[in-house]
Amino acid sequence: MKDVLELIRECFGSLTLNKLRTGLAVLGIVIGIGSVIALISLGQSSQKSIENSIQSLGSNLLTVIPGSANTGGVRGALGAGTTLTLDDALALQKDASITTIANVSPEFSRRSQVTAGANNTNTQITGVYPQYADVHKVVLETGSFVSESDVNALAKVAVLGPTAVTNLFDEGVDPLGQKIRISGQLLTVIGVTEAKGGNGFNNPDDAIYIPLSTAQKIIFGSTSLSTLSVEAKNADVMTTAQDDIGYFLLARHKIDDPASADFSIFSQNDILNTASSVTGIFTTLLGGIAAISLLVGGIGIMNIMLVTVTERTREIGLRKALGAKKNIIVTQFLTEAVILTVVGGVIGMMLGIAISFALAKIINIPFTVSPTSVLLSIGVSGGIGILFGWYPARTAAGLQPIEALRYE
């Protein structure tokens, strides 16, 4: 044990001799490990962020979107179709033979310019039924959500998300009872939703909810739905519910072949899995690119170790003359290489964590560092030391003592 410590101390002694060169060699590893950690952590953070926002949309959720209607060989864009109507939703809700679904929420949404006094913003306007709040887990901060009677009466009322409130009203103004203007129509604010914790890409807090009838008939003039959200009774019946809805709608739309359905049904798991696999590929890709810089760093270490071996030929010759066997010389130079890479790995790890922390703060996503990536970076940097230190160490050990002693 003492001998190991002495070996390590001796190696540190040799390495600190040429501080600039050692520092530059270490820098290659620092950048390599740092970028691997930062990019993987960034990838995992955005994965988590996307998963969180998908889950915050509601649990046991099935989403039906119109589209894929083949009319005369022309395939319409997904989601842009007009094949899904309010009648479909109401019929689905009423059908007693389907026991797997709990709630049906017909929705129509479109982005629009909204003004309130001198302020204006562009946000997502969603026409909803009262079920929307249950299905999507919308909780009110103040006031009330869109009610059944609001829908029946085509009431000009609106419920605002907290971001929309911030954008439309000055600080200190109570939004309840205020008027906002959408497409020339004045609507009264009747409620504000609780913040869900938004992210930069798709912020559920930046939204305005109005009665579906108001949206369709008064503001946007449309008869179709943009989505139909269905809440299944529980997580176990998700697949059955998906089939039930599918067959029900096929029957209503008089389509025999499920392959030519004019709608698509996604479960939340589908969306989650797709998003996860996309971000997973993304993370791997980023990590792979960063790994190239790690490889370059490793080659830098090998280069420095080869220079060191040449410079220290006399020392190696002396050690061999005094009785050092090949293994002892190999161990000495491998230890130096591993010290270089592990020191670089630890610094790089800290740098990587700092960078991913800063990035997570800047683009407002949760900060995650997996303990495996930390352990892995130390392991990998040690491995790089052994891999790229092996050849120089063998070169050193293979020197003949007389050649080495004679070397000037």
Site for other proteins, rule CB under 8 A: 2-3, 6, 13, 17, 314-315, 318-326, 328, 400-402, 405
Q: What's the CA gap between 208 and 1, in Å, rounded? A: 69
Q: How far is CA 74 from the centre of its chain?
A: 35
- Which of residues 75 and 325 has its CB atom nearest to other proteins in the complex? 325
Type of residue found at 339:
I
- Which of residues 136 and 319 has its CB atom nearest to other proteins in the complex? 319
Residue 375: count of CB within 10 angstroms of its CB: 11
Q: Using alpha carbons, select from 123, 127, 184, 190 the residue that is nearest to residue 154.
A: 127
- Which of residues 75 and 314 has its CB atom nearest to other proteins in the complex? 314
| Shortest CB 272 distance to other proteins, Å | 60
| Shortest CB 386 distance to other proteins, Å | 22
Q: Using alpha carbons, select from 266, 217, 242, 202 the residue that is nearest to residue 53.
A: 202
- Which of residues 208 and 339 has its CB atom nearest to other proteins in the complex? 339
| Shortest CB 321 distance to other proteins, Å | 6
| Shortest CB 322 distance to other proteins, Å | 5
List of E strands, 67-178: 70-71, 74-75, 101-116, 119-128, 140-143, 157-160
Q: How far apart are the first and last CA of the chain?
A: 35
- Which of residues 96 and 322 has its CB atom nearest to other proteins in the complex? 322
- Which of residues 17 and 375 has its CB atom nearest to other proteins in the complex? 17
Q: Using alpha carbons, select from 189, 138, 194 the residue that is nearest to residue 168.
A: 189
| Shortest CB 326 distance to other proteins, Å | 6
CA 282 → CA 83, 186, 274, 288, distances in Å?
35, 45, 12, 10
Q: What's the CA gap between 112 and 105, in Å, rounded? A: 21
Q: How far is CA 379 from the centre of its chain?
A: 26
Report angle CA 109, 113, 117 to the nearest 5 degrees. Answer: 130
β-strand 157-160 against 185-193: which pairing, if any?
parallel
φ/ψ of 108, rounded to 5, equals -135, 120
- Which of residues 196 and 319 has its CB atom nearest to other proteins in the complex? 319
| Shortest CB 330 distance to other proteins, Å | 12
- Which of residues 13 and 371 has its CB atom nearest to other proteins in the complex? 13
| Shortest CB 351 distance to other proteins, Å | 31
- Which of residues 136 and 320 has its CB atom nearest to other proteins in the complex? 320
| Shortest CB 9 distance to other proteins, Å | 10
Q: Using alpha carbons, select from 241, 228, 214, 211 the residue that is nearest to residue 86.
A: 228
Three-state SS sequence of 206-244: CEEEEEHHHHHHHHCCCCECCEEEEEECCHHHHHHHHHH
Coil, helix or strand at residue 24: helix
| Shortest CB 405 distance to other proteins, Å | 7
- Which of residues 184 and 323 has its CB atom nearest to other proteins in the complex? 323
| Shortest CB 394 distance to other proteins, Å | 13
